[in-house]
Amino acid sequence: MTDGLPFHYPDEARPTRNGGSTRRAKPAPTREASRRSRNNRKRGGQEEAHVAAVMGGRKVGQLNLPWDVEVPGYARIQCKKLDRWPSLTRILEWLDAMPAGTEMRVVTIADTPGPGKPTRRIAVLELDDLAAWHGRKGP
C-alpha cells in the first residue's frame, strides 16, 4: 500500500519537479558586474590621463602597447590604479613586458583609498634605467 508514495531514501536519487535536473542553473550576471567593469575602465583611463599630465607625456593606452603613457625620448610608463597594492613579482612582470630601449621603463601604481582620503601614487623603475639618465657619469 505504501509502495506508490514518494518517500525519499538516502541511497535513491532525489525526486525532481517536472522531471528536471537537480542541478541549479548558474545565476545570470547582474548589472553590478558590468558597472564594476565600466568603472574600472574609466578609473584606468583617468589614471593614464593624470600620469600623462604630470609627466608631460601623452596617453597611448588605447594602442594596446605594454605601456600606457609615453614621454618621447625619456620614459614609457605602465599605469595601474588598484584597490590593493600588488606583489613585487607582479610589478616586475609589468616592467619586463616593456622592451628595453633608450627610454626608462616605469610602472606607476595608485591606490583607491576611498572618499575623503588622498590617492597615493608610487613609481617603480630599475636602478640601471634611472642611473643611465640621472646617475654620475664617472666612477
Give per-residue pLDDT as tens, 104-130: 999 999 998 888 999 999 999 999 889
What torsion, rounded to 10 degrees, do the Cα atoms 30, 33, 38, 39 define?
120
57 HSE (CA, 13 A, CB side): 25
Residue 106 lies in a domain: yes
State the pLDDT at residue 72: 94
Residue 75 lies in a domain: yes
The rounded radius of gyration (Å) of the Cα atoms in the chain is 27
State the pLDDT at residue 32: 53
Residue 9 lies in a domain: no
State the pLDDT at residue 7: 61
Please check whether residue 110 is in contact with residue 118, taking contact to mean a CB–CB distance below 8 angstroms: no
Residue 15 lies in a domain: no
| Residue ranges of the chain whose pLDDT lies below 50 | none
Residue 47 lies in a domain: yes
State the pLDDT at residue 28: 64
Please check whether residue 81 is in contact with residue 48, taking contact to mean a CB–CB distance below 8 angstroms: no
State the pLDDT at residue 83: 84
Question: 34 is in which domain, residue-wise?
Answer: 29-134
Domain count, the chain: 1
Distance in angstroms (rounded) separating the CA atoms of residues 95 and 7: 64
Residue 34 lies in a domain: yes
Reported in sequence order, the residue ranges of the chain that DSSP labels E, i.e. its strands, are 58-59, 69-71, 75-82, 104-111, 121-125
45 sits in which H/E element? helix 31-55
State the pLDDT at residue 40: 78
Please check whether residue 81 is in contact with residue 112, taking contact to mean a CB–CB distance below 8 angstroms: yes
State the pLDDT at residue 113: 84
State the pLDDT at residue 135: 87
Residue 7 lies in a domain: no
Residue 60 lies in a domain: yes
Q: Is 108 helix (H, G, I), strand (E, B) or coil?
A: strand
